[in-house]
Structure 1
Amino acid sequence: MAVFMAVFGVVLIGLCICTALLRWNEVRYRKKGLPPGTMGWPVFGETTEFLKQGPSFMKNQRARYGKFFKSHLLGCPTTVSMDPELNRYILMNEAKGLVPGYPQSMLDILGKCNIAAVHGSTHKYMRGALLALISPTMIRGQLLPKIDEFMRSHLNKWDTKIINIQEKTKEMALLSSLKQIAGIESGTISKEFMPEFFKLVLGTISLPIDLPGTNYRRGFQARKNIVGMLRQLIEERKASQETHNDMLGCLMRTNENRYKLSDEEIIDLIITILYSGYETVSTTSMMAVKYLHDHPRVLDELRKEHLAIRERKRPEDPIDWNDYKLMRFTRAVIFETSRLATIVNGVLRKTTKDMELNGFVIPKGWRIYVYTREINYDPLLYPDPLAFNPWRWLDKSLESQNYFLLFGGGTRQCPGKELGIAEISTFLHYFVTRYRWEEVGGDKLMKFPRVEAPNGLHIRVSAY
């Protein structure tokens, strides 16, 4: 009996402490004019619920508090906006005090010069340097030939094998980018680079707790290792005096490049290019393979488009810009995949001053999570929203409507949009014209906080 009473007492004290901590955190963030909502635990906030429950957490909070509510996510007091009109306003008005507000973990690991961390004239300058590397002219003349050469090689000899398409598309996205950025082929440096990069990616969406064994610590250490590799590559190029026809070569030729960046800025820009393209390209490619498998009519239409392109060419002829512009249905498949899978759930902004939004006062320094996921399933914008229907995108007006936020919005719209679409299109071209495939089965998909198959997505591939 005494033991039971002791255990009961400990549990009761624990409950009292937990209740007191929750209450203290609510009182701490109770300020006149703030939106309704809950703040969760000190330091951790509601991050665990957000990462584990994802869309369910958001829907529950919206049901209780409406489309505009407060929370505490990824180490920051945050206001969540699920209102399409307000989201558009927030994304279009950076000049009015709504600057990028990405989590501290992301800013630390991607570097202080990355595009998500800077704003104003610095952002304009860094974005200009990036756009000069990935403009339509650069894609047409320099990048598409490299992408084509890489995809031919990467997709070689897959027939009669069971492959993990998630693993293959991750390798594809990273190795293709390394080839474009620094002419790096699959070899020693890429094998050293890849595991470090995967740790860096995991660290960017984590609580910024610098303790051994945390994703943040591993991600930050991976950044140091990657910076060391890139710095060594830059020093070797400076010493060799060779001319290199790749992104790094362009950034280092300051005599012919009006964007004269320091080595630190170049390194952070390269990490930004790798990071921003990696997840969207790899995940969209994987999910396109999944949706095409599940929708044979869509696959038939897509294959017809690519076989028609192939028929006009010799087997050894690469995909060129004119071929890419003919891939209208492929573009529609990519948009529909991105919409239905919701590769990007939303974007973060931060207030630079106290400001009024939606009738509430948001304090200076708070994050605003522009949660765009629900827009993707709005039946008023997308009839029968849960159906995989690429044909809806053949109406070009859908791509230009106000709530098209698959690639962000405003001055922060993804600058690599066209490059990413070109990579996925080229991948799909060689994949559907060379192979048939079927799922081995039993692989589970997760849709939040990132789209992934925890145990891989395995398919059996055969020649077409």
Structure 2
Amino acid sequence: MNTLFIVLTLLIPIFLLLTKGRRSPKRVPPGSLGIPIVGHSLHLLRAMRANTAEKWLQQRIQKYGPISKLSLFGKPTVFIHGKYANKFVFTSDSSTLSNSQPQSVKELLGDRCLLELSGQDHKRVRDALGLFLKPESLKSYVGKMDEEVRMHIATHWEGKQEVKVLPLMKTLTFNIICALLFGIERGARREKLVDWFQEMIEGMWSIPINLPFTRYNRSLQASASIRNMMKHLIGEKRRELAKKGVNPHKDLISSMLSTRDENNREVIDENEIMDNVMLVMAAGHDTSSVLITFLVRILANDPSIYAAILKEQEQIAQSKQKGELLTWDDLAKMKYSWRAAQETLSMVSPIFGGFRKAVKDIEYDGYLIPKGWQIFWVTNMTHMDSSVFPESSKFDPARFNNQASIPPYCFIPFGGGPRICPGYEFARIETLITIHHLVTQFTWKLLADNFFKRDPMPVPTEGLPIQIMPKTNITS
């Protein structure tokens, strides 16, 4: 009993110190901030891993209404949802909301990446990324991406009876990123990078307590290793660009190094290049691999969708000479395939949600969001809202036949407005080229159940193992 008394005597002042100042101002949204530091983080992460996070949030809505407070990843947070909430998040300027990610994301990716920048800094870096990622620039990379996909299929699919789709799609998208965005050739350096990257990505959404043997600690170490490699790579690119005749836009790093202002000064410094390389690596790797994986899952479950995509892709394949690479014009003909991909994104968004930070006290929906608090929004809250998308649980690519009919700020897998992801077109090209080769070369069936969890990206059971059967009438 004396030992318990001593422990409580020591802990109570610490608890009071941690909770000092946590009393909510008047008129803040209803809800509880929970216990210090941890708050509701473990509840959310546990629900995500059980694929019940949207249900968990719906229960909050039923209990507290459309806006409520909680604590996530060490910060007081306000959860908002719906199309007006999405518009508020994506259109508010930097005097109202700033980009702000959980501490774990900030530490791993860096505080100068696009997710953390606001105002003119955000525009400056976004414009520099956009020079490489805009459709006009990406047209010339379609053939190179097609080559990467063909090489991947020849290495990992041909001659196999069973494959696990998600790990292979992660391998594919990482190789595409290394080749097209960073100019890293196949070999030991790329293999080291992928190992470190997988270690880093596991701690993206975690409680930021840096203790040995924790997921967060391992991720920080992996991030430091990647940064060291990227620093050397940036130096190599800089030396290459000093030579005459080198293409300044042959990869993303070279393009950012070559971007100059009217006084011929670099627009982005080395730290910003490094942080945004880390961001592009994380965003481009996981989002595209998840989209392609779940589209493969849909095609296994719905023969009519598979048949419609196959018909479209076979027409394109039959118009090509054997071995001829796909072109930008070919991608423009893949309209139904992309609508099916959009519907996949609607039902299983790779990005669960995101955060902003209140720059000042904000009046929103009759409540006060205090300065410095996080604002948390969730992608699927409008995607699966039947008042926005009728029969939202039914897989129906036709709902994207007329893009103008979709209410603004309701379909947001890539964000919206001025905050839309600059890598949107890159992901579209990756997805369409990959699906073209898969459906024209293979049929498949699932070998595991349809369950998936979020960690924090959607992860299907056992990585989605499938049995594959090659086709014999391949024309491309």
- TM-score w.r.t. length of structure 1: 0.91
Distance 1:306-1:359 versus aligned 2 partners, 3 A rule: same
* Distance in 1, Cα, partners of 2:268 & 2:15: 47
- The answer on whether the counterparts of 1:46 and 1:73 sit within 8 Å (CA) in structure 2 is yes
Which moved further from structure 2: 255-264 or 296-305?
A: 255-264
Matching residue of 1:84: 83
Alignment pair present for 1:148 and 2:153 = no
* Distance in 2, Cα, partners of 1:372 & 1:111: 24
Distance 1:385-1:98 versus aligned 2 partners, 3 A rule: same
Distance 1:264-1:302 versus aligned 2 partners, 3 A rule: same
Distance 1:258-1:322 versus aligned 2 partners, 3 A rule: farther
* Distance in 2, Cα, partners of 1:374 & 1:51: 17
* Distance in 1, Cα, partners of 2:344 & 2:433: 16
Q: Give a deviation string over 1:197-220, Cα, whole Å, max 9, x none.
A: 112212221111111122221121
Matching residue of 2:410: 403
Which moved further from structure 2: 168-177 or 28-37?
A: 28-37
* Distance in 2, Cα, partners of 1:418 & 1:395: 19
Q: Give a deviation string over 1:372-394, Cα, whole Å, max 9, x none.
A: 32211111222211111112212
Matching residue of 2:474: none
Which moved further from structure 2: 170-179 or 445-454?
A: 445-454
Q: Give a deviation string over 1:150-174, Cα, whole Å, max 9, x none.
A: 0111111514321110100111111
- The answer on whether the counterparts of 2:100 and 2:357 sit within 8 Å (CA) in structure 1 is yes
* Distance in 2, Cα, partners of 1:331 & 1:399: 16
Name stretches of at least 5 consecutive residues in structure 2 with no aligned partner. 48-52, 472-476
Alignment pair present for 1:289 and 2:296 = yes
Alignment pair present for 1:420 and 2:427 = yes
Matching residue of 2:131: 132
Q: CA deviation at 1:266?
A: 1.7
Alignment pair present for 1:35 and 2:40 = no
Matching residue of 1:189: 189
- The answer on whether the counterparts of 2:169 and 2:289 sit within 8 Å (CA) in structure 1 is yes
* Distance in 2, Cα, partners of 1:204 & 1:130: 22
- For the residue of structure 1 that corresponds to 2:462, the secondary structure is coil
* Distance in 2, Cα, partners of 1:254 & 1:336: 36
Q: Give a deviation string over 1:56-82, Cα, whole Å, max 9, x none.
A: 321111111001000001111000002
Matching residue of 1:204: 204
Q: CA deviation at 1:369?
A: 0.6
| Counterparts of residues 226-305 of structure 1 (less than 5 Å) | 226-240=226-240, 241=242, 243=246, 245-253=250-258, 260-305=267-312
Q: Give a deviation string over 1:391-444, Cα, whole Å, max 9, x none.
A: 221222245634222211232111111111111111101111111111122474
- For the residue of structure 2 that corresponds to 1:71, the secondary structure is strand
- The answer on whether the counterparts of 1:26 and 1:39 sit within 8 Å (CA) in structure 2 is no
Matching residue of 1:318: 325
Name stretches of at least 5 consecutive residues in structure 1 with no aligned partner. 1-5
Q: Give a deviation string over 1:25-76, Cα, whole Å, max 9, x none.
A: 5993332111000111111001111111222321111111001000001111
Q: CA deviation at 1:104?
A: 1.1
- The answer on whether the counterparts of 1:398 and 1:404 sit within 8 Å (CA) in structure 2 is no
CA RMSD, Structure 1 to Structure 2 (Å): 2.6
Q: CA deviation at 1:342?
A: 2.5
Q: Give a deviation string over 1:249-297, Cα, whole Å, max 9, x none.
A: 2223357988532222222221121111111101001000001100000
Q: CA deviation at 1:115?
A: 0.4
* Distance in 2, Cα, partners of 1:412 & 1:396: 19
One-letter amino acid of the structure 2 residue matched with residue 322 of structure 1: D
* Distance in 2, Cα, partners of 1:318 & 1:148: 6
Q: CA deviation at 1:454?
A: 5.4
* Distance in 1, Cα, partners of 2:208 & 2:151: 39
* Distance in 1, Cα, partners of 2:460 & 2:131: 35
- The answer on whether the counterparts of 1:341 and 1:447 sit within 8 Å (CA) in structure 2 is no
Alignment pair present for 1:48 and 2:55 = no
* Distance in 2, Cα, partners of 1:261 & 1:98: 23
Percentage of pairs with the same residue: 26
Alignment pair present for 1:66 and 2:71 = no
